[in-house]
Structure 1
Amino acid sequence: MAHTAILIIDDDTQICELLTDIFDEHGYHTFVAQNATEALSILQSNSDIALILLDLILPDINGLVLLQQLRAIKNLPIIMLSGLDSESDIVVGLEMGADDYIAKPFYPRVVVARVKAAIRRSQPLPFSTEYQSTGFLFNKWFLDVENHKLFSPQKHEVVLTQGEYTLLYALVLNAQKMLSRQKLLELTHSENFEIFDRTIDVLIMRLRKKIEPNPKNPTFIQTVRGTGYLFNSMVEKI
Protein backbone atom coordinates (compact mmCIF):
# COMPACT_ATOMS: atom_id res chain seq x y z
CA MET A 1 0.00 0.00 0.00
CA ALA A 2 1.44 3.38 -1.02
CA HIS A 3 2.27 5.91 1.64
CA THR A 4 0.50 9.26 1.67
CA ALA A 5 2.78 11.71 -0.12
CA ILE A 6 3.48 15.36 0.56
CA LEU A 7 4.99 17.82 -1.90
CA ILE A 8 7.36 20.33 -0.28
CA ILE A 9 8.09 23.40 -2.38
CA ASP A 10 10.88 25.48 -0.85
CA ASP A 11 14.30 26.61 -2.08
CA ASP A 12 15.81 26.37 1.41
CA THR A 13 17.65 23.03 1.43
CA GLN A 14 17.83 22.88 5.23
CA ILE A 15 14.09 23.35 5.63
CA CYS A 16 13.41 20.69 2.99
CA GLU A 17 15.70 18.24 4.77
CA LEU A 18 14.12 19.00 8.16
CA LEU A 19 10.59 18.50 6.83
CA THR A 20 11.55 15.37 4.91
CA ASP A 21 13.05 13.81 8.04
CA ILE A 22 10.09 14.64 10.28
CA PHE A 23 7.50 13.41 7.76
CA ASP A 24 9.49 10.23 7.17
CA GLU A 25 9.33 9.56 10.91
CA HIS A 26 5.53 9.81 10.73
CA GLY A 27 5.16 7.47 7.76
CA TYR A 28 4.75 10.01 4.95
CA HIS A 29 6.57 9.95 1.63
CA THR A 30 7.86 13.34 0.49
CA PHE A 31 8.68 14.96 -2.81
CA VAL A 32 10.85 18.07 -2.79
CA ALA A 33 10.87 20.87 -5.36
CA GLN A 34 13.04 23.97 -5.10
CA ASN A 35 11.37 25.91 -7.89
CA ALA A 36 8.07 26.12 -9.74
CA THR A 37 9.14 24.06 -12.75
CA GLU A 38 10.10 21.10 -10.57
CA ALA A 39 6.93 21.45 -8.49
CA LEU A 40 4.56 21.39 -11.47
CA SER A 41 6.35 18.42 -13.01
CA ILE A 42 6.23 16.41 -9.76
CA LEU A 43 2.56 17.17 -9.15
CA GLN A 44 1.54 16.16 -12.67
CA SER A 45 3.40 12.85 -12.54
CA ASN A 46 2.50 11.64 -9.01
CA SER A 47 -1.10 10.80 -8.20
CA ASP A 48 -0.49 9.89 -4.56
CA ILE A 49 0.32 13.45 -3.41
CA ALA A 50 -2.26 14.39 -0.76
CA LEU A 51 -1.03 17.84 0.32
CA ILE A 52 1.33 20.63 -0.73
CA LEU A 53 3.56 22.78 1.49
CA LEU A 54 4.34 25.94 -0.46
CA ASP A 55 6.94 28.57 0.36
CA LEU A 56 5.78 31.98 -0.83
CA ILE A 57 9.28 33.10 -1.85
CA LEU A 58 10.76 31.08 -4.71
CA PRO A 59 13.66 31.81 -7.10
CA ASP A 60 11.73 31.60 -10.36
CA ILE A 61 8.16 32.67 -9.59
CA ASN A 62 5.99 34.38 -7.00
CA GLY A 63 4.56 31.72 -4.69
CA LEU A 64 1.07 33.18 -5.04
CA VAL A 65 1.22 32.74 -8.82
CA LEU A 66 2.36 29.16 -8.36
CA LEU A 67 -0.52 28.64 -5.91
CA GLN A 68 -2.98 29.39 -8.71
CA GLN A 69 -1.16 27.08 -11.12
CA LEU A 70 -1.13 24.22 -8.62
CA ARG A 71 -4.83 24.71 -7.92
CA ALA A 72 -5.55 24.45 -11.65
CA ILE A 73 -3.89 21.01 -11.81
CA LYS A 74 -5.30 19.33 -8.69
CA ASN A 75 -7.63 20.35 -5.90
CA LEU A 76 -5.39 19.44 -2.97
CA PRO A 77 -4.91 21.09 0.43
CA ILE A 78 -2.19 23.73 0.15
CA ILE A 79 -0.47 25.10 3.25
CA MET A 80 1.62 28.20 2.76
CA LEU A 81 4.99 28.61 4.47
CA SER A 82 5.69 32.24 5.25
CA GLY A 83 7.89 34.59 7.23
CA LEU A 84 6.22 36.50 10.07
CA ASP A 85 6.64 39.81 8.22
CA SER A 86 4.56 38.89 5.18
CA GLU A 87 1.03 39.34 6.51
CA SER A 88 -0.18 40.85 3.23
CA ASP A 89 0.96 37.78 1.27
CA ILE A 90 -0.80 35.52 3.78
CA VAL A 91 -4.05 37.44 3.40
CA VAL A 92 -3.82 37.32 -0.40
CA GLY A 93 -2.99 33.60 -0.26
CA LEU A 94 -6.07 32.90 1.84
CA GLU A 95 -8.17 34.95 -0.57
CA MET A 96 -6.79 32.87 -3.45
CA GLY A 97 -7.78 29.61 -1.77
CA ALA A 98 -4.86 28.42 0.35
CA ASP A 99 -6.09 26.15 3.12
CA ASP A 100 -3.76 27.27 5.88
CA TYR A 101 -0.43 28.90 6.57
CA ILE A 102 2.50 28.20 8.84
CA ALA A 103 4.81 30.99 9.91
CA LYS A 104 8.57 30.56 9.82
CA PRO A 105 10.38 29.65 12.00
CA PHE A 106 8.13 26.74 12.94
CA TYR A 107 8.06 23.77 15.28
CA PRO A 108 8.22 20.50 13.30
CA ARG A 109 5.57 18.85 15.50
CA VAL A 110 3.17 21.71 14.79
CA VAL A 111 3.72 21.30 11.04
CA VAL A 112 2.95 17.58 11.25
CA ALA A 113 -0.20 18.23 13.28
CA ARG A 114 -1.43 20.86 10.83
CA VAL A 115 -0.69 18.62 7.84
CA LYS A 116 -2.52 15.66 9.39
CA ALA A 117 -5.52 17.87 10.14
CA ALA A 118 -5.61 19.30 6.61
CA ILE A 119 -5.41 15.85 5.01
CA ARG A 120 -8.10 14.53 7.33
CA ARG A 121 -10.41 17.45 6.47
CA SER A 122 -9.90 16.83 2.75
CA GLN A 123 -11.16 13.24 2.98
CA PRO A 124 -14.97 13.11 3.17
CA LEU A 125 -16.46 10.86 5.82
CA PRO A 126 -19.43 8.59 5.10
CA PHE A 127 -22.48 10.36 6.45
CA SER A 128 -25.78 8.73 7.36
CA THR A 129 -29.16 10.39 7.70
CA GLU A 130 -28.66 10.44 11.48
CA TYR A 131 -26.08 12.64 13.16
CA GLN A 132 -23.55 10.36 14.85
CA SER A 133 -21.34 13.08 16.35
CA THR A 134 -21.87 15.93 18.75
CA GLY A 135 -22.11 19.41 17.32
CA PHE A 136 -24.43 22.28 16.48
CA LEU A 137 -27.48 22.51 14.22
CA PHE A 138 -28.45 25.82 12.61
CA ASN A 139 -31.12 26.08 9.94
CA LYS A 140 -30.56 22.36 9.09
CA TRP A 141 -26.79 22.83 8.77
CA PHE A 142 -24.68 20.64 11.07
CA LEU A 143 -21.28 21.62 12.47
CA ASP A 144 -19.56 18.43 13.62
CA VAL A 145 -17.25 19.45 16.47
CA GLU A 146 -15.70 15.99 16.87
CA ASN A 147 -14.39 15.79 13.31
CA HIS A 148 -14.24 19.53 12.51
CA LYS A 149 -16.60 19.13 9.56
CA LEU A 150 -19.61 21.01 8.23
CA PHE A 151 -22.62 19.40 6.54
CA SER A 152 -25.26 21.17 4.47
CA PRO A 153 -29.02 20.66 4.88
CA GLN A 154 -28.70 18.11 2.02
CA LYS A 155 -26.18 16.12 4.15
CA HIS A 156 -23.29 17.06 1.84
CA GLU A 157 -19.97 17.85 3.43
CA VAL A 158 -18.75 21.40 2.90
CA VAL A 159 -14.98 21.32 3.26
CA LEU A 160 -13.60 23.94 5.64
CA THR A 161 -10.02 25.00 6.19
CA GLN A 162 -8.73 25.13 9.76
CA GLY A 163 -9.16 28.89 9.88
CA GLU A 164 -12.72 28.71 8.50
CA TYR A 165 -13.73 26.01 10.96
CA THR A 166 -12.23 27.83 13.93
CA LEU A 167 -14.02 31.05 13.02
CA LEU A 168 -17.36 29.38 12.30
CA TYR A 169 -17.17 27.51 15.61
CA ALA A 170 -16.60 30.79 17.45
CA LEU A 171 -19.55 32.42 15.66
CA VAL A 172 -21.92 29.49 16.23
CA LEU A 173 -20.92 29.19 19.88
CA ASN A 174 -21.78 32.87 20.33
CA ALA A 175 -24.87 32.99 18.12
CA GLN A 176 -27.02 36.12 18.41
CA LYS A 177 -24.15 38.02 20.01
CA MET A 178 -22.29 40.89 18.37
CA LEU A 179 -18.60 40.02 18.22
CA SER A 180 -15.96 42.64 17.48
CA ARG A 181 -12.95 41.76 15.34
CA GLN A 182 -10.81 41.93 18.47
CA LYS A 183 -13.10 39.45 20.25
CA LEU A 184 -13.00 37.12 17.24
CA LEU A 185 -9.21 37.32 17.26
CA GLU A 186 -9.22 36.27 20.93
CA LEU A 187 -11.69 33.42 20.30
CA THR A 188 -9.86 32.04 17.27
CA HIS A 189 -6.26 32.38 18.40
CA SER A 190 -4.60 29.14 19.44
CA GLU A 191 -1.13 27.65 19.69
CA ASN A 192 -1.56 26.00 16.30
CA PHE A 193 -3.28 28.76 14.38
CA GLU A 194 -2.77 32.51 14.36
CA ILE A 195 -5.27 34.83 12.73
CA PHE A 196 -4.32 38.41 11.91
CA ASP A 197 -6.87 41.20 12.12
CA ARG A 198 -7.22 41.41 8.34
CA THR A 199 -7.68 37.66 7.90
CA ILE A 200 -10.91 37.78 9.94
CA ASP A 201 -12.58 39.62 7.05
CA VAL A 202 -11.08 37.22 4.50
CA LEU A 203 -12.32 34.16 6.39
CA ILE A 204 -15.76 35.75 6.86
CA MET A 205 -15.93 36.27 3.09
CA ARG A 206 -14.95 32.65 2.45
CA LEU A 207 -17.47 31.29 4.96
CA ARG A 208 -20.24 33.36 3.41
CA LYS A 209 -19.47 31.86 0.00
CA LYS A 210 -19.85 28.38 1.50
CA ILE A 211 -22.97 28.73 3.67
CA GLU A 212 -24.94 31.76 2.54
CA PRO A 213 -27.67 31.49 -0.13
CA ASN A 214 -26.60 34.97 -1.25
CA PRO A 215 -23.11 35.88 0.04
CA LYS A 216 -23.64 39.54 -0.94
CA ASN A 217 -26.75 39.70 1.23
CA PRO A 218 -25.84 37.34 4.09
CA THR A 219 -28.47 35.69 6.26
CA PHE A 220 -26.24 33.99 8.83
CA ILE A 221 -23.05 36.05 9.21
CA GLN A 222 -24.18 39.65 9.35
CA THR A 223 -21.96 42.70 9.48
CA VAL A 224 -22.57 45.14 12.31
CA ARG A 225 -21.21 48.26 10.68
CA GLY A 226 -18.25 49.76 12.46
CA THR A 227 -18.39 47.13 15.18
CA GLY A 228 -18.00 43.53 14.05
CA TYR A 229 -20.11 40.51 13.13
CA LEU A 230 -23.24 38.73 14.34
CA PHE A 231 -24.21 35.10 13.70
CA ASN A 232 -27.95 35.52 13.19
CA SER A 233 -29.46 32.06 13.57
CA MET A 234 -31.00 29.84 16.22
CA VAL A 235 -28.44 27.21 17.19
CA GLU A 236 -29.20 23.85 18.78
CA LYS A 237 -26.49 21.80 20.48
CA ILE A 238 -26.83 18.03 19.93
Structure 2
Amino acid sequence: MSKEERVANRARRAEKKAREATEKAVEEEAVEDYIQEAEEQGSDEEDIAGIIIKRRKAKGKLKLNENRSKVGNKRIPKNVANVFTENVTLNSEEKKNAKGRFVASRRIIAERMLSENTKTIYDIMSILEDAGVMPTIETVDPYYPQLVREFICNMTEDIDESGTHVTDIPFKAVETGGGYSAGNDETVQFIKDEINHLEGVIQTSLARKSALETRLWSLAGEDDPVVDPTTSDSEAEASQE
Protein backbone atom coordinates (compact mmCIF):
# COMPACT_ATOMS: atom_id res chain seq x y z
CA MET A 1 0.00 0.00 0.00
CA SER A 2 1.41 3.34 -1.05
CA LYS A 3 1.64 6.45 1.04
CA GLU A 4 -1.18 8.17 -0.87
CA GLU A 5 -3.55 5.24 -0.22
CA ARG A 6 -2.80 5.23 3.51
CA VAL A 7 -3.51 8.96 3.69
CA ALA A 8 -6.79 8.48 1.81
CA ASN A 9 -7.90 5.70 4.18
CA ARG A 10 -7.17 7.84 7.20
CA ALA A 11 -9.17 10.68 5.71
CA ARG A 12 -12.14 8.39 5.02
CA ARG A 13 -12.08 7.02 8.57
CA ALA A 14 -11.91 10.51 10.04
CA GLU A 15 -14.80 11.63 7.82
CA LYS A 16 -16.87 8.59 8.89
CA LYS A 17 -16.27 9.27 12.58
CA ALA A 18 -17.19 12.93 12.16
CA ARG A 19 -20.39 11.98 10.32
CA GLU A 20 -21.37 9.45 13.03
CA ALA A 21 -20.69 12.00 15.77
CA THR A 22 -22.85 14.57 13.99
CA GLU A 23 -25.70 12.08 13.53
CA LYS A 24 -25.48 11.03 17.16
CA ALA A 25 -25.56 14.64 18.35
CA VAL A 26 -28.56 15.39 16.15
CA GLU A 27 -30.34 12.25 17.38
CA GLU A 28 -29.67 13.02 21.02
CA GLU A 29 -30.88 16.57 20.54
CA ALA A 30 -34.04 15.29 18.85
CA VAL A 31 -34.62 12.77 21.64
CA GLU A 32 -34.16 15.43 24.31
CA ASP A 33 -36.60 17.70 22.52
CA TYR A 34 -39.13 14.87 22.23
CA ILE A 35 -38.73 13.88 25.88
CA GLN A 36 -39.19 17.47 26.98
CA GLU A 37 -42.28 17.80 24.80
CA ALA A 38 -43.65 14.45 26.04
CA GLU A 39 -43.12 15.41 29.68
CA GLU A 40 -44.97 18.67 29.10
CA GLN A 41 -47.87 16.68 27.62
CA GLY A 42 -47.75 14.09 30.44
CA SER A 43 -46.81 11.03 28.32
CA ASP A 44 -45.77 7.76 29.93
CA GLU A 45 -42.11 6.71 30.17
CA GLU A 46 -42.85 3.44 28.32
CA ASP A 47 -44.23 5.39 25.34
CA ILE A 48 -41.13 7.56 25.22
CA ALA A 49 -38.80 4.54 25.32
CA GLY A 50 -40.82 2.77 22.62
CA ILE A 51 -40.62 5.75 20.25
CA ILE A 52 -36.87 6.07 20.79
CA ILE A 53 -36.39 2.37 19.97
CA LYS A 54 -38.50 2.69 16.83
CA ARG A 55 -36.46 5.67 15.64
CA ARG A 56 -33.19 3.83 16.15
CA LYS A 57 -34.54 0.74 14.39
CA ALA A 58 -35.60 2.86 11.42
CA LYS A 59 -32.07 4.18 11.09
CA GLY A 60 -30.61 0.66 11.32
CA LYS A 61 -28.63 1.40 14.47
CA LEU A 62 -30.53 -0.97 16.73
CA LYS A 63 -31.17 -4.63 15.89
CA LEU A 64 -33.23 -6.14 18.68
CA ASN A 65 -35.74 -8.97 18.56
CA GLU A 66 -39.16 -7.85 19.79
CA ASN A 67 -39.69 -11.14 21.67
CA ARG A 68 -36.45 -10.92 23.61
CA SER A 69 -34.91 -8.51 26.08
CA LYS A 70 -31.16 -8.25 26.42
CA VAL A 71 -29.78 -8.51 29.96
CA GLY A 72 -26.03 -8.23 30.12
CA ASN A 73 -24.60 -10.82 27.72
CA LYS A 74 -27.68 -13.09 27.82
CA ARG A 75 -30.97 -12.92 25.98
CA ILE A 76 -34.00 -14.06 27.96
CA PRO A 77 -37.31 -14.70 26.17
CA LYS A 78 -40.23 -12.71 27.52
CA ASN A 79 -42.77 -15.50 27.04
CA VAL A 80 -41.22 -17.97 29.52
CA ALA A 81 -43.86 -19.68 31.67
CA ASN A 82 -43.66 -19.44 35.44
CA VAL A 83 -42.35 -22.48 37.32
CA PHE A 84 -44.47 -23.71 40.24
CA THR A 85 -42.25 -24.87 43.11
CA GLU A 86 -44.89 -25.73 45.70
CA ASN A 87 -44.26 -29.49 45.62
CA VAL A 88 -40.58 -29.28 44.69
CA THR A 89 -37.95 -30.10 47.32
CA LEU A 90 -34.51 -28.60 46.84
CA ASN A 91 -31.85 -30.44 48.83
CA SER A 92 -28.50 -28.80 49.30
CA GLU A 93 -25.32 -30.51 50.44
CA GLU A 94 -25.74 -29.04 53.93
CA LYS A 95 -29.23 -30.52 54.26
CA LYS A 96 -28.01 -33.93 53.11
CA ASN A 97 -25.21 -33.93 55.68
CA ALA A 98 -27.60 -32.78 58.39
CA LYS A 99 -30.01 -35.58 57.49
CA GLY A 100 -27.22 -38.14 57.73
CA ARG A 101 -26.21 -36.88 61.16
CA PHE A 102 -29.83 -37.03 62.32
CA VAL A 103 -30.26 -40.63 61.19
CA ALA A 104 -27.02 -41.71 62.84
CA SER A 105 -27.94 -39.98 66.09
CA ARG A 106 -31.41 -41.49 66.06
CA ARG A 107 -29.99 -44.98 65.55
CA ILE A 108 -27.51 -44.59 68.40
CA ILE A 109 -30.24 -43.32 70.72
CA ALA A 110 -32.48 -46.27 69.80
CA GLU A 111 -29.73 -48.78 70.62
CA ARG A 112 -28.95 -47.04 73.86
CA MET A 113 -32.60 -46.99 74.89
CA LEU A 114 -32.83 -50.69 74.05
CA SER A 115 -30.12 -51.57 76.55
CA GLU A 116 -31.61 -49.22 79.17
CA ASN A 117 -35.15 -50.55 78.75
CA THR A 118 -33.98 -54.10 79.37
CA LYS A 119 -33.00 -53.00 82.88
CA THR A 120 -36.24 -51.19 83.72
CA ILE A 121 -38.89 -53.89 83.12
CA TYR A 122 -40.20 -54.56 86.64
CA ASP A 123 -43.84 -55.44 85.89
CA ILE A 124 -43.06 -59.07 85.16
CA MET A 125 -40.76 -59.60 88.13
CA SER A 126 -43.59 -60.48 90.52
CA ILE A 127 -44.93 -63.08 88.08
CA LEU A 128 -41.48 -64.63 87.76
CA GLU A 129 -41.15 -64.85 91.53
CA ASP A 130 -44.59 -66.46 91.92
CA ALA A 131 -43.77 -68.97 89.19
CA GLY A 132 -40.44 -69.81 90.83
CA VAL A 133 -38.36 -69.21 87.73
CA MET A 134 -36.21 -66.34 88.97
CA PRO A 135 -32.99 -68.43 88.78
CA THR A 136 -33.50 -68.75 85.03
CA ILE A 137 -32.76 -65.05 84.60
CA GLU A 138 -30.44 -64.48 87.54
CA THR A 139 -27.94 -67.22 86.68
CA VAL A 140 -27.67 -66.53 82.94
CA ASP A 141 -24.24 -65.25 81.97
CA PRO A 142 -24.13 -61.67 80.66
CA TYR A 143 -23.87 -61.05 76.92
CA TYR A 144 -22.62 -57.99 75.16
CA PRO A 145 -25.52 -56.00 73.61
CA GLN A 146 -24.67 -56.85 70.00
CA LEU A 147 -25.04 -60.59 70.62
CA VAL A 148 -28.35 -60.05 72.39
CA ARG A 149 -29.72 -58.04 69.48
CA GLU A 150 -28.53 -60.58 66.91
CA PHE A 151 -30.04 -63.39 68.97
CA ILE A 152 -33.41 -61.65 69.01
CA CYS A 153 -33.33 -60.72 65.33
CA ASN A 154 -32.36 -64.18 64.10
CA MET A 155 -34.90 -66.30 66.01
CA THR A 156 -36.88 -68.38 63.50
CA GLU A 157 -40.15 -70.28 63.71
CA ASP A 158 -38.34 -73.64 64.06
CA ILE A 159 -36.22 -72.44 66.98
CA ASP A 160 -37.60 -75.26 69.16
CA GLU A 161 -35.95 -77.87 66.95
CA SER A 162 -32.48 -78.86 68.09
CA GLY A 163 -29.62 -77.34 66.11
CA THR A 164 -31.61 -75.01 63.84
CA HIS A 165 -30.36 -71.86 65.54
CA VAL A 166 -26.65 -72.64 65.38
CA THR A 167 -25.93 -71.28 61.91
CA ASP A 168 -27.96 -68.12 62.48
CA ILE A 169 -26.93 -66.89 65.90
CA PRO A 170 -23.27 -67.58 66.77
CA PHE A 171 -21.81 -66.92 63.32
CA LYS A 172 -23.74 -63.68 62.93
CA ALA A 173 -22.67 -62.58 66.38
CA VAL A 174 -19.01 -63.28 65.61
CA GLU A 175 -19.36 -61.39 62.36
CA THR A 176 -20.57 -58.20 64.04
CA GLY A 177 -19.33 -58.62 67.60
CA GLY A 178 -15.86 -57.24 66.98
CA GLY A 179 -12.53 -58.62 68.08
CA TYR A 180 -12.81 -61.88 66.11
CA SER A 181 -11.87 -62.76 62.54
CA ALA A 182 -12.80 -65.74 60.35
CA GLY A 183 -10.27 -68.58 60.23
CA ASN A 184 -8.80 -67.83 63.66
CA ASP A 185 -8.41 -70.65 66.20
CA GLU A 186 -9.78 -68.37 68.88
CA THR A 187 -12.88 -67.75 66.78
CA VAL A 188 -13.47 -71.47 66.29
CA GLN A 189 -13.24 -72.11 70.01
CA PHE A 190 -15.50 -69.16 70.72
CA ILE A 191 -18.16 -70.52 68.35
CA LYS A 192 -18.00 -73.97 69.94
CA ASP A 193 -18.43 -72.49 73.41
CA GLU A 194 -21.33 -70.35 72.25
CA ILE A 195 -23.06 -73.32 70.63
CA ASN A 196 -22.80 -75.39 73.79
CA HIS A 197 -23.95 -72.53 75.97
CA LEU A 198 -26.85 -71.52 73.73
CA GLU A 199 -28.20 -75.06 73.79
CA GLY A 200 -28.65 -74.73 77.54
CA VAL A 201 -30.02 -71.20 77.24
CA ILE A 202 -32.72 -72.31 74.80
CA GLN A 203 -33.84 -75.15 77.04
CA THR A 204 -33.96 -72.75 79.99
CA SER A 205 -35.98 -70.25 77.96
CA LEU A 206 -38.49 -72.91 76.97
CA ALA A 207 -38.89 -73.95 80.61
CA ARG A 208 -39.43 -70.35 81.64
CA LYS A 209 -41.99 -69.89 78.86
CA SER A 210 -43.93 -72.94 80.01
CA ALA A 211 -43.90 -71.75 83.63
CA LEU A 212 -45.11 -68.30 82.65
CA GLU A 213 -47.91 -69.75 80.54
CA THR A 214 -49.02 -71.93 83.46
CA ARG A 215 -48.96 -68.95 85.80
CA LEU A 216 -50.90 -66.85 83.28
CA TRP A 217 -53.67 -69.44 82.98
CA SER A 218 -53.89 -69.79 86.75
CA LEU A 219 -54.22 -66.03 87.21
CA ALA A 220 -56.90 -65.93 84.51
CA GLY A 221 -58.88 -68.62 86.36
CA GLU A 222 -58.65 -71.21 83.60
CA ASP A 223 -57.00 -74.60 83.49
CA ASP A 224 -54.35 -75.42 80.93
CA PRO A 225 -52.19 -78.55 80.85
CA VAL A 226 -48.51 -78.05 81.56
CA VAL A 227 -46.43 -78.95 78.52
CA ASP A 228 -42.97 -80.37 78.90
CA PRO A 229 -40.57 -77.87 77.26
CA THR A 230 -38.43 -80.71 75.88
CA THR A 231 -41.33 -82.16 73.86
CA SER A 232 -42.30 -80.97 70.40
CA ASP A 233 -45.64 -79.41 69.46
CA SER A 234 -46.93 -82.62 67.86
CA GLU A 235 -46.11 -84.67 70.98
CA ALA A 236 -47.80 -82.08 73.19
CA GLU A 237 -50.98 -82.19 71.11
CA ALA A 238 -50.98 -86.00 71.20
CA SER A 239 -50.61 -86.02 74.99
CA GLN A 240 -53.52 -83.60 75.35
CA GLU A 241 -55.75 -85.86 73.26
Q: TM over 0.5, yes or no?
A: no
Higher relative contact order (CA 8 A, sep 6+): 1
Kindly indicate which of the two structures has a greater share of residues assigned to helix.
2
- Tell me which interval the TM-score lies in, with the shorter structure as reference length: under 0.3
Kindly indicate which of the two structures has a greater share of residues assigned to strand.
1
TM-score by length of 2: 0.21
Q: If you compute each CA radius of gyration, which structure gives the higher value, 1 or 2?
A: 2
TM-score by length of 1: 0.21
